[in-house]
Structure 1
Amino acid sequence: MEAMMEQREGVALFTICRPEKRNAVNFVVMEALEGALSEAEADERVKIFAITGAGDEAFCSGGDLHEFGPLRGAEAKQMLTRMGEVLYRLLTFPKPTAALVNGAAMGGGCELATACDFRFVKEGSRIGFIQG
C-alpha cells in the first residue's frame, strides 16, 4: 500500500506510505490522492482534508525520480501536467486542507504542503527546493 486515507471525527487523513522512498510521489500515489480528494469532497461528514507522510523523516521528498526521471518529451509533459492538475485540485479544494509536515518537504513535497490552506510543521522539519 503506497497511500491510504482514513476518516475520523470529520477529518479525512491522506497518508503517503512510502517511507523507504522518503514518501516520494509516484503515479500510484498521484492517482490515490486524486481519488481521496474526490471521496472527501463528496462525503458530507468530512470537514477538513489533511495530508501527511508515513514515518518521521519525510513528509514528501517530491516526485519519484526512479519513475519520473526516465520520462522524456510528451511523456514527461503529460506527467507534469497531471501532477499540476492534482496540485491545483488540492489548492482549490472546497473544504479546508492541512499539511501535517512531519519531516522534509522538498521540491514537489514543498509544493504539496503549500497547496494546502494550513501547514502544521514538526520541529526540525525542512521545507524548500533543492538548488542545483
Structure 2
Amino acid sequence: MPESGVIFETRETIGMVHLNNPKRANALSKFLVQDLADTVNKLKGATHLSAVIFTGGKSKAFCAGADLKERQTMSEDEIIEYVSFLRKTFAEIASLPMPTIAAIKGMALGGGCELALACDFRVMEEDAFIGLTEVSWGIIPGAGGTQRLPQLVGVGKAKQLIFTAEKLSGKQAYEIGLVEEICENGKAELKALKIAELIAENSLHSVRLAKRAVDSFDQTQMETGLQVEWDCYKKTIHHPDRLEGLAAFKEKRKPNYSNNKLKI
C-alpha cells in the first residue's frame, strides 16, 4: 500500500493534487479517498492559491473509479458509509473557493468521471476515455454524476451516456461539452497548468467572488437532486444486480442481470 493516497505540491500560487494509487489505476480505495478528503479540507483555508489542479500523478490513468476488488470485501453498511464519504468529499471539491481543473489522462470512469465533474473545468487528452459506467456494474452514479453531468451536456445526452454506460474519447467528450479543452497525449497536466497560470494573472479576490456567484445559480435544485441521487443509489446496495456486477468483474465476464425480476 502506498504511503499516501494523494501527493500535494504547489507551483507558485497553483496547487497540484496528484492521485497516488498507480498500481490500481488510481481506483478510489478507502485510503485514497481519506487522503483526498484530508487534502481538500486543508485547501479550504489556502487563501494564497489562485487555482488547484487534480491529476493522475504517476499512474497512466486519471482515475479508474471505484476499487471493485476492495468493494467485494465490504459489507452493505460499509459500502453506504464509504460512498457517503466519497459524495461528501466530491461536494467539498465542488465548493472549494478557488477554481479547480481536472487534468485527465488514460481514463476517468465511474467515480473518476464524477471527480472530474466536481471540478470547475476539465482538460482531457485526445485518446483518454471518460464515462459514467456504473449501471454496467449494477449500481448508479452515486457521487454527484447524475446531477453534474446534465449541467454540462444537457439532460438528454446525460441520460444517454448514463443509461448506456458509454465511454467517450477526449475528442467526443469535447464535442459535446463534457470537457472544456483537449490536448495531445501526455500534455493534460501542462495544458491545465497554462490555464491555471492565466487565472493566476487576475485578481485572486475577484476570481473567487466570480466563482461563488456562478455557483449560486440554482444551488437549491442541485442540493435536492443530490439527495434524490443518494436515495436511489442506496436502493442498489440490497439488489442482487450489484452482487452480480461484482461477481462478473471478479470473473472477468459480462454480467447476467435479473432484468426479468425488476423491482424498484
* Fold match by TM threshold 0.5: yes
SS at match of 2:44: helix
Q: Aligned partners of 2:131, 2:93: CA distance in 1, in Å?
A: 19
Give the structure with higher Rg (CA): 2
Hey, what's the Cα distance between the residues in 2 that align with 1:56 and 1:62?
A: 13
5 Å-filtered alignment, 1:51-90, equals 51-55=54-58, 57-90=60-93
User: What is the root-mean-square deviation of aligned Cα atoms in Å?
Assistant: 1.5
Shift of 1:27: 1.4
In the aligned structure 1, how far is the partner of 2:27 from the partner of 2:127?
19
Q: Distance in 1 between matches of 2:72 and 2:83?
A: 12
Structure in which a larger fraction of residues adopt strand = 1
The 1:41–1:124 alpha-carbon spacing in structure 2 relative to 1, beyond 3 Å, is same
Alignment partner of 2:121 out of 118, 127, 131:
118
**Aligned partner of 1:48: which letter?**
A
In structure 2, what is the equivalent of residue 33 of structure 1? 36
More helix by share: 2
Match in the other structure for 1:103:
106
* Percent identical: 29
Task: Name the residue aligned to 1:9.
Answer: 12
Cα offset, 1:71, TM superposition = 1.6
Residue number in structure 2 paired with 1:47? 50
For 1:94, which of 94, 97, 113 is the aligned residue? 97
For structure 1, list consecutive stretches of 5 or more residues without a partner in the other structure. Answer: none
Offset, 1:129: 2.4
TM-score, L = length of structure 2: 0.47
> Which residue in 1 is equivalent to 2:145?
none
Q: How many positions carry a matched residue from both structures?
A: 132
Higher relative contact order (Cα pairs below 8 Å, separated by 6+ residues) = 1
- Given the two structures, how large is their TM-score scaled by the length of structure 1? 0.91
